[in-house]
Amino acid sequence: MSPASRLAGREAFVVGSGPNGLTAAILLARAGMVVTVLEAQPTIGGGARSAALTLPGFTHDLCSAVHPLAAASPAFAQMPLADYGLEWIHPPVAAAHPLDDGSAVTLVRSVDATADGLAADGEAYRHAVAPMVARWPDLLSGILAPPHLPAHPLLLARFGVYALPSASFVFTRLFRTAGARALLGGVAAHSILPLDAWGSAAMGWVLTLAAHAAGWPMPRGGAQQITAALASYLRSLSGIPARRAGVLRPRAARAAANCGGAPAGLVLPQAGAIPPGTGRFQSGLGAECADSLAQPGVRPRRHGPPVRNARGD
Ligand SMILES: Cc1cc2nc3c(=O)[nH]c(=O)nc-3n(C[C@H](O)[C@H](O)[C@H](O)COP(=O)(O)OP(=O)(O)OC[C@H]3O[C@@H](n4cnc5c(N)ncnc54)[C@H](O)[C@@H]3O)c2cc1C
């Protein structure tokens, strides 16, 4: 009997309706399980939520806003999320880092155009990035998987040489200019690790490679659209014979009380089955998010096309 057929008809509870919880629920529902997603908050979506917080006509993301790894996600690639309303907006500039002299360095889709903007560090950037961009699908499947025997050990080893040390170590040795160091260091800071911590270079490389391979898109309508598409797709699975879809319960206070402090997206085989030690789980470091109302037509220094605001105008 295949693993999927062993799951069919059994009941599962997914704690947390963030993007990971909904993705887990969809995979379980597709395996034929009867899935219930439990959510403590009044609205579903976890970090992928949006709301009208300021002026009329503006939608603000409450947490995540730009989604390179959603666009590159092998899990999302297997789901018909476009059919459920998810549309990606690709800005012409993924990221820009202003420098003290008033100029800026920019990360764009093209490796060559990005390297050209890094002056004396252009060749070092190209040398580091281009081979990994060329093998991006193989590299991504290697780094997203749990510990395993790698299918592409040399590629993963190359990535490890660049990614395992701290961001400050790698980017000050690899680059000479403030621009290249600032660009990669700023991208690495997304991990919320201190930049002198081991492994803090990794997120800098992953997001930079993703910018070249898949872009740094945002969902039209805000991050909530990721949640809406995942939830709609999850509900639709109930229409498939022998496969039951998840039920979204916006206020699951009982689950929140039972497993407070549990990792988000925890999948329980049955209600109340909290694995030992789950209650001691420590969440990661917090982060601040600041929103502003952007005027259309803001232009970066080095690359011509106007930067779009959150609505894609
Ligand atoms: C400030 C900030 C900005 C970010 N910006 C980006 C970005 O721009 N792009 C990007 O890709 N990522 C970004 N991230 C990271 C992104 O938000 C997370 O990686 C993503 O939300 C994780 O999804 P998740 O499903 O694992 O958890 P979450 O999105 O955190 O969802 C967890 C859900 O579980 C619920 N929950 C928890 N415990 C219980 C319980 N006991 N009972 C019931 N429900 C429970 C919570 O209420 C929540 O709804 C950002 C993170 C932060 C903090």
Among 13, 27, 64, say which to mutate for ligand 1: greatest number of ligand atoms within 8 Å of CB.
64
For residues 199 and 99, state if they share a domain.
yes
3-state secondary structure of 125: helix
Amino acid at 54: T
**Pair 77, 116 in one domain:** no
DSSP secondary structure code for residue 246 in this structure: P
The pLDDT value recorded for residue 311 is 41
Position with higher pLDDT, 298 vs 285: 298
Instruction: Say if 59 falls within a structural domain.
Output: yes
The pLDDT of residue 297 is 63
- In this structure, is residue 137 part of a structural domain? yes
183, part of any domain: yes
Distance 107 CA to ligand 1 centre (A): 26
**Secondary structure class of 88 (helix, strand, coil):** strand
pTM listed for this prediction: 0.83
Question: Tokens for 299?
Answer: 């232009």
Residue 6 has a pLDDT of: 77
Residues 60 and 108 in one domain: no
In a domain, 1, yes or no: no
pLDDT attached to residue 232: 93
Residue 104 alpha carbon to ligand 1 centre in Å: 31
Asked whether residue 116 falls in the same domain as residue 257, the answer is: no
Nearest C-alpha neighbor of 28 from the set 284, 253, 265: 265
Are 206 and 115 in the same domain? Answer: yes
Within this chain, do residues 58 and 111 fall inside the same structural domain, yes or no?
Answer: no
Q: Which residues of 61-70 are buried (b: 16+ CB within 10 A; e: fewer)?
A: bbebbbbbbb
Is the pLDDT reported for residue 55 higher than 80? yes
**Which of the listed residues 181, 216, 251 is the one where a domain comes to its end?**
216
CATH number, domain of 28, equals: 3.50.50.60
Rounded Cα–Cα distance for residues 205 and 53 (Å): 33
Ligand 1: lining residues by beta carbon, under 6 Å: 15-21, 38-41, 46-48, 63-67, 69, 252, 255-256, 259-260, 262, 264-265, 287, 289
Classify strands 247-249 and 34-38 as parallel, antiparallel or unpaired: parallel
Query: Is residue 286 a part of any domain in this protein?
Result: no
Total number of domains in the chain: 2
Closest among 173, 226, 183 to 63, alpha carbons compared: 226
Average pLDDT over residues 219-229: 96
Q: How far apart are CA 25 and CA 18, in angstroms?
A: 11
Same-domain pairing of 153 and 211: yes
Q: How many CB atoms lie within 10 A of CB 131?
A: 13
CA of 102 to the centre of ligand 1 (A): 35
What would the two tokens of residue 26 be? 């969809």
Distance 282 CA to ligand 1 centre (A): 14
Average pLDDT over residues 287-298: 58
What one-character DSSP code corresponds to residue 237?
Answer: G
Do 134 and 208 have their domain in common? yes
pLDDT at 234 (0 to 100): 92
Question: Which tops the pLDDT comparison, 81 or 290?
Answer: 81
209-to-8, 108, 187 alpha-carbon distances in Å: 38, 11, 11
Position 79 pLDDT exceeds 80: yes
Residues 104 and 132 in one domain: yes
Domain shared by 211 and 126, yes or no: yes
- Cα distance between the two ends of the chain: 52
pLDDT at 39: 86
Least trusted range by pLDDT, from 7-21, 63-77, 151-165, 246-260: 246-260
Residue 139: closest CA among 158, 164, 115, 167: 158
Q: Are strands 247-249 and 104-108 parallel, antiparallel or unpaired?
A: unpaired
Q: Are residues 204 and 238 in the same domain?
A: no
- Evaluate if residue 268 carries a pLDDT over 60: no
Q: Report CA(24)–ligand 1 centroid distance (Å).
A: 14
For ligand 1, atom 36, the nearest C-alpha belongs to: 16
**Residues spanned by the domain of 191:** 95-216
> Which H/E stretch holds residue 146?
none
Within-domain flag for 258:
yes
Using only C-alpha atoms, the chain has a radius of gyration, in whole angstroms, of 21
Q: Please, are residues 281 and 263 in contact by the beta-carbon 8 Å criterion? A: yes
